[in-house]
Structure 1
Amino acid sequence: MSDTPAYDIVPDHRDGMRVLWDVPIPQDDGVVLRADVFLPEDEGRYPVLLSYGPYAKGLAFQDGYPTAWQTLSEQHPDVAAGSTNQYQNWEVVDPEKWIPHGYAVVRVDSRGCGRSPSVVDHFSARETRDYHDCVEWAGTQPWSDGNVGLSGVSYFGMNQWLVAATQPEHLRAICVWEGASDFYRDASHHGGILSTFWQHWYDKQVKTVQYGLGGRGPRHPVTGLQVCGDDDFTDEEMAANRVDFGGDIRAHPFIDDYHRTRIPDWSRITVPLLSAGNWGGQGLHLRGNVEGFLQAASEQKWLELHGLEHWTTYYTDYGREIQLAFFDHFLKGADNGWDRRPRVQLQVRHVDDTFTERFEDDWPIPRTRWQEMFLDPAARRLSETVPAGGTVEFDAMGNGVTFETSPFTETTEITGPLAARLWVETTAADCDLFLTLKVLDESGRHLTFVGAVDPHAPATQGWLRLSHRALDPARSLPYRPVHRHESADPVEPGVVYEVEVELWPTSLVIPPGHRLALTVGGRDFADPDLPEIRMSNFKNQMRGSGPFLHDDPVDRDPRVLTGRTTLHAGPGRPARLLVPIIPAAS
């Protein structure tokens, strides 16, 4: 590695900003991280919006994520309006939209990525310590007024939970936009089943911008600097400077110290927070925002839930103006009414992917009417009464069986968390359950929705590995079961097990004549009738579950999972789906 000393940065005056490129931030172990700092032209001290992550501060959004940028800029012209878009980066604020409001914007390349050297180890204690020290650094610079806020989407939200729990002195507020909070339950293992997303993401979005690519990597479109550092490492040196992220996750199938390091101590998150989730974010971009809002000890906390792609709403005027009001209040002390607004802001979703804005006092919505819909194996129906006893079986690794309601007779809103109680028997050594909630129109056609990543997502999904069925009674609620995931319980062929399955929250206004359908199967939901859809930053084709698949051949070993699964239901075993019905406001 080249030994680049710290140096005085000459401001680059451009587009109404002073920009300090590639500023060094020394860490306690001698590693020097690099940041770009965007400042107003006028000298002074400003509140800071900070982000810290692996996607390379010098990689333009348009170059790194062209399909996402094309969709965003074409369908939402307000995103590109009022900006040259030369400084757009993936999942962080556009400085040209924030500098005029009197903020400093700081982007830090996380350890081992972009122009910051050392070893890549995502969400580790070392990375969280780096982030903490970057917050303190930003709070003490001559251009800073000492008030630091954190902002960003997905990865840039996930690590906010972790650093907030370390309680940096200068941290004043966090805005977590579609960022998981429980690395195990929200991200790496859904219901105890390994998600292969992280290995593919690592290959496509991190290794491609790892420090040491040097001349093999891209160049900054404005400065001409090599995005991935000035060193040219061999492939062997590159591999030595990153953990085997996918392999590490696979090697820790239960919640142990590896995962506990990556799950925040909720009691220590006390700063004001705004948590924004996506109705279509099954797999990464929803549950953690809801749980972070509920679990954090912060007295001042707000939840916002929306739809569309996970990179969209953050950049639109709608999302940016919400963030601006939040940060103006907590970083600038503006008396703008933010502290008097209701705690929950919803974009209630309709079946045509339109939305109606509504504010609520809490989550789940206090006036929720919890409706039990019972599984009827003989009729394959979801009914309001417990049916006569019966069973239905399916291939344990197959598409499963579907239960449908009668057509709705009136417009019905379903908004909130869902849960299923099932009685399950298997002939295999273990059993994976994949639950998919769908909406069917009057002709029986499955309606899909714009998901956080997949353009054709179902209403919601849930997962559970039978050997992970043990609940955490202290945290579980009827509408939100929480599993321990600390060890495997025995699964014996011929034994019927009662299990609770969490389905991630959803919001739907269902018109008369439409139906709900619950599929219980043994594999990821995929709609074979969808057109081939691929995106530049993901490996797999989008077929309804996005990149959040569960197809690892080791974790999903056919020798363990092949067999027949039987669902039992009836008066002694009232299998049911618990659904949050929202009465019309009086």
Structure 2
Amino acid sequence: MKTVTEFPRKVVEFPDMGIVMPDGCRLSARVWMPEDATDDPVPAILEHLPYRKRDGTIFRDQLTHPYFAGHGYASIRVDMRGNGDSEGLMDDEYSEQELQDACDVIAWAAAQPWCNGNVGMMGISWGGFNCLQVAAKQPPALKAVISLCSTVDRYADDIHYKGGCLLLENFGWASTMLSYSSRPPDPAIAGGNRWRDLWLNRLENQSFLLPLWLSHQHRDAYWKRGSICEDFSAVKAAVLSIGGWHDGYRNTISNLVTNIESPVKGIVGPWIHKYPHYAGPKPAIGFLQEALRWWDRWLKGAETGVEADPAYRAYVMDSVRPARWHPERPGRWVAEQTWPSANIKLETIELIPDGAKPAIVASPQTCGLAGGEYFPFTFGPELPGDQRPDDALSVCFDQPELGEAIDIVGAPELDVRLASDRPQANIAVRLCDVHPDGASELISYGVLNLTHRNSHEFPQALVPGQTVSARVVLDQCAYRVPAGHKLRIAVSTAYWPMIWPSPEPVRLDLSTATLRLPRRPLARGDEVSFPEPEGATPWATETIRQANSERHVDRDEKTGLVRLSITDDFGEVRDIDHGLANGSVVREIWTIHPDDPLSATGATHWTQTLSRNEWSVRTETFAEMRSDAANFIVSARIEAYEGEKLIFERDFEQAIPRSRV
């Protein structure tokens, strides 16, 4: 990445600008703007997050926000209430309070003497979600958003449920937020003993969000609120949507470009859950330059040509050897002026010949261990590996060897007619690229809780032995399968540890299976290009402990239990400027027996540390989840230390009835 140090306008930074909400709660913002902005007002750009501007998102903030400021913007990075250096409490993700706070910050920014009255909002993941949700509330000053790695449907396409199946990331993210929100403000910002008072109030009122999320197992009013797919027309601001094929949020870009009525464009690269100017796998792109084109058009009224850009720009990845991490994905950029595109044709492939016996699918509960993380976050071993171990536990429909390469662009679908021997069943479908030597690379996958085959809102139990129809929609993808390779469609009744298993082992009898494959004419080269990545001066740190990631799968030959152990040590660094050191480590253990879905357990343990000179604090958070046939049983614990003294502890435990999940 090219580092830019000279900008059209000189930048001044305010590390703690207080923004007082109507109820008196003070939010802490880090703000960059041109030093002459009061004399020559500029548009504002808001990023509103719970992830701590002081030590959490500072790496990416440092690359991004000064860059925008140097090009004539006031870039505002706000800690949400109850997090980082802000006052107040957070009770849930995307709460009405959170969204109203964002609207109030937008109104505040627009009224400042250094602002020209136009505001944009941006963010990745949480920030990508809330900028879309805030846009649907139509605050008058909000003219444009850039949403990355986000969703339009909080139930069907987030970390909670997928295809009506319970994602294990639901538990994982609840335990992560328990840890993230357990940390205190920086005493250098919240001086005296105020930091401790804010911290203890935070800890005493800390929510463990998992029971709340598990209490809404169907697509009810809880999930509909904040899902902009309920009314796409509510979004009036111009939307630039960006995502990555190695992220969990692959479908949003297509959904937005298809449905938003305001100006909208989409870009999908080969990336994990990161901003694309520093994301991997490479190639990264000049995201900040692309963002400036968007901001300049909608916040300054400049003619930047964004309206003439293709509606949908996607990176078609070449076939590669399966690996848990790819530093780079060869491929090419393609462009569709409209989306959905008339260039995409559905090829229909019948997987089960007429008159053939039903295909029997009854997978061990350990099928899925080659699937990788739901949304890969680190530059480490989190991608799907060689699919052959999972293929061996699935029913596979291999297609003939390809005589010529094909480009798959879009969302494959599998229509099935099947009968289950249990009233509750899951089905997982994977589309794989099989190399001539048998190596199997994941192209896309989809899962479906078969009681949700007709509705996520009103599930219907299966009648054992009765044949029903269902459609499994796989995730959006863009992938080239070369000549000499084969397509494989692998079907299983388990996908651990991506989804929580059905209460009983299941057998499915598939009588028909029809694949609909979105084919695009073969791209001969890049149809669109982007500038090379650049950013502002990187964050200056001293490394205290190097980061490291480990993943191990072990089987106890005596008990038969299979255990996936994950340790992500994010290291420890000290900020050269303000001296705050921060470190974090998470350990995860996922255990299951191949023959017993009720043996499934998940456990996490997070450690967070903050220190400066003689001051140090630490939090330890623990969470566990298991189930029986009737309930999910969850527990958690927080321990907070000042120095080595335990100053706070709290336990959570709850059983939540299962409801066709």
TM-score range, shorter chain: 0.7 to 0.9
User: Would the aligned equivalents of 2:174 and 2:208 in 1 still touch at CA under 8 Å?
Assistant: no
Please state how far the C-alpha of 1:209 moved relative to its aligned partner. 3.8
Give 2:499's match in structure 1, choosing from 550, 557, 561: 550
Aligned counterpart in structure 2 of residue 568 of structure 1, from 493, 511, 519: 511
Q: Is 1:296 the equivalent of 2:260?
A: yes
Tell me the alpha carbon deviations over residues 77-113 of structure 1, each in whole angstroms, 9 at most, x when there is no partner: xxxxxxxxxx5347x9622322221111101111211
2:606 alignment partner in structure 1: none
Provide closer, same or farther for how the CA distance between residues 230 and 507 of structure 1 changes in structure 2, counting only shifts above 3 A: farther
Match status 1:142 vs 2:136: no
* Equivalent residue in structure 1 for 2:312, among 341, 344, 364: 344
Partner of 1:196: 168
**Which one-letter code corresponds to 1:328 in the other structure?**
D
Q: Does 1:580 align with 2:541?
A: no
Q: Could you list the per-position Cα deviations for residues 145-196 of structure 1 after superposition, in whole angstroms to 9, with x for gaps in the alignment?
A: 1111112211110111110000011101011111112100111210101122
Q: Distance in 1 between matches of 2:196 and 2:523?
A: 62
Q: Distance in 2 between matches of 1:268 and 1:375?
A: 42
Matched, 1:49 2:49: no
Q: CA deviation at 1:249?
A: 1.0
Distance 1:294 1:230, change over 3 A: farther
1:100 equivalent among 35, 59, 70: 70
Residues 1:434 and 1:406: Cα distance change in structure 2 (over 3 Å) = same
Summarize the Cα distance change of 1:501–1:239 in structure 2 as closer, same or farther, 3 Å threshold: farther
Distance 1:112 1:235, change over 3 A: closer
CA–CA separation in structure 1 for the residues paired with 2:511 and 2:201: 55
The question of whether the paired residues in 2 share the 8 Å contact of 1:119 and 1:243 is answered with no
User: Using the alignment, how far apart are the partners of 1:318 and 1:387 within structure 2?
Assistant: 51
Letter in 1 for 2:445: Q
Q: Is the 8 A contact 2:245 2:272 kept in 1?
A: no
* Aligned residue number for residue 270 of structure 1: 236
Alignment partner of 1:389 is 2:348: no
1:177 to 145, 148, 155: 148
Q: Alignment partner for residue 343 of structure 2, among 337, 346, 367?
A: 367
The change in CA–CA distance for 1:101 and 1:514 in structure 2 (over 3 A counts) is same
Letter of the 1:365 counterpart: S
SS at match of 2:195: coil
Q: Which one has more relative contact order, counting CA pairs under 8 Å at least 6 apart?
A: 1
Q: 1:194 is matched by which residue type in structure 2?
A: L
Alignment-derived partner of residue 581 in structure 2: none
Equivalent residue, structure 2, for 1:331: 299
Change over 3 Å in CA distance of 1:198–1:314 after alignment to 2: farther
Aligned to 2:103: 132
Which runs of no fewer than 5 residues in structure 2 stay unpaired?
A: 1-8, 279-283, 321-328, 368-393, 525-661
* 1:507 corresponding residue in structure 2: 478
1:23 maps to what in 2? Answer: 17
Aligned partner of 2:246 among 280, 289, 294: 280
Deviates more, 1:141-150 or 1:19-28: 19-28
Equivalent residue, structure 2, for 1:404: 398
Q: Which position in structure 2 is the counterpart of 1:572?
A: none
2:243, 2:29 → 1: CA distance? Answer: 28
Q: Which residue of 2 aligns with 1:459?
A: 443
1:286-342 CA-to-partner distances (Å, cap 9, x unmatched) read: 1123212322231x1111111122215144552222212111111111112222222
State the alpha-carbon separation in 2 of the partners of residues 199 and 17 from structure 1: 42
Indicate the residue corresponding to 1:119 in structure 2: 89
| SS of structure 1 residue aligned to 2:131 | helix
Cross-structure match for 2:276 = 313
Q: CA deviation at 1:557?
A: 5.0
Q: 1:490 to 1:338 in 2, by over 3 A?
A: same
The answer on 1:427 being equivalent to 2:421 is: yes
> Structure 1 233/468 Cα, relative in aligned 2: closer, same or farther at 3 Å?
farther
Indicate how the Cα distance of structure 1 residues 110 and 195 shifts in structure 2: closer, same or farther if over 3 A, else same.
same
Query: Is contact 1:17-1:40 (8 Å) kept?
Result: yes
Q: CA deviation at 1:242?
A: 3.5
Residue 363 of structure 1 aligns to a residue whose secondary structure is coil
Q: SS of the counterpart of 2:127?
A: helix
CA shift for structure 1 position 60: 4.7
Q: Which runs of 5+ in 1 are unaligned?
A: 1-14, 62-86, 377-385, 448-457, 471-483, 527-548, 570-574
- For residues 130-157 of structure 1, the C-alpha deviation after alignment (integer angstroms, 9 at most, x for no partner) is 1111111111111111111112211110
Instruction: Tell me which residue corresponds to 1:242.
Output: 206
Q: How far, CA to CA, are the matches of 1:513 and 1:108 in structure 2?
A: 52
Over the matched positions of the two proteins, sequence identity in percent amounts to 25
User: 2:364 & 2:112 partners in 1: Cα distance?
Assistant: 57
Structure richer in helix, relative to its length? 1
Q: What RMSD in Å do the two structures reach over aligned CA positions?
A: 2.5
Aligned residue pairs: how many? 469
Distance 1:240 1:288, change over 3 A: farther
Distance 2:364 2:200 in 1: 38
The aligned residue for residue 331 of structure 2 is 355
The 8 Å contact of residues 212 and 232 in structure 1, kept in 2 or not, is answered as no
Conserved 8 A contact 1:185-1:191: yes
Preserved CA contact (<8 Å) 1:181 1:289: no
- Does the alignment pair 1:33 with 2:27? yes
Aligned partners of 2:459 and 2:470: how far apart in 1? Answer: 14
Q: For residues 374 and 422 of structure 1, what CA distance do their matches in structure 2 show?
A: 10
Classify 1:521/1:169 alpha carbon distance in 2 versus 1 (closer, same or farther; 3 Å).
same
Contact persistence 1:212–1:231 (CA under 8 A): no
Q: 1:498 to 1:60 in 2, by over 3 A?
A: closer
Higher strand share: 2
SS in 2 for 1:207: helix
Moved more, 317-326 or 423-432: 317-326
In the alignment, structure 1 residue 489 sits paired with structure 2 residue 456? no
Question: Which secondary structure state, in structure 2, belongs to the residue aligned with residue 29 of structure 1?
Answer: coil
CA distance in 2, matches of 1:97, 1:107: 13
From 131, 136, 148, the counterpart of 1:165: 136
Name the counterpart of 1:537. Answer: none
Residue 211 (structure 1) shift: 6.7
After superposition, the C-alpha distances for 1:405-457 in whole angstroms (9 at most, x for unaligned) are: 1111001111111111011211122101111111111111113xxxxxxxxxx
CA distance in structure 2 between the partners assigned to 1:60 and 1:509 by the alignment: 37
Compute the displacement of 1:46 (Å). Answer: 1.1
| Match status 1:261 vs 2:225 | yes
- Cα distance in structure 2, aligned partners of 1:490 and 1:203: 31
Give the direction of change, closer, same or farther, for the CA distance of 1:511–1:259 in structure 2 (3 Å limit): same
1:226 Cα deviation after fit: 6.4
1:59 is aligned, of 55, 66, 79, to 55
Tell me the SS of whatever aligns to 2:475.
strand
Give TM-score, length-normalised by structure 1. Answer: 0.75
Task: Give 1:375's aligned amino acid.
Answer: L
Q: CA deviation at 1:53?
A: 1.0
For 1:443, the equivalent position in structure 2 comes to 437
**1:28 and 1:312, CA in 2 relative to 1: closer, same or farther beyond 3 A?**
closer
Q: CA separation in 1, counterparts of 2:478 and 2:204?
A: 45
Name the aligned partner's letter for residue 102 of structure 1.
G
Q: Distance in 2 between matches of 1:178 and 1:212?
A: 25
In 2, Cα distance between equivalents of 1:203 and 1:93: 29
Instruction: Determine the C-alpha separation between the residues in 1 that align with 2:523 and 2:301.
Output: 34
Change (3 A) 1:201 1:363: same
Separation in 2 of the partners of 1:317 and 1:138?
A: 30
DSSP 3-state at the match of 2:51 = coil
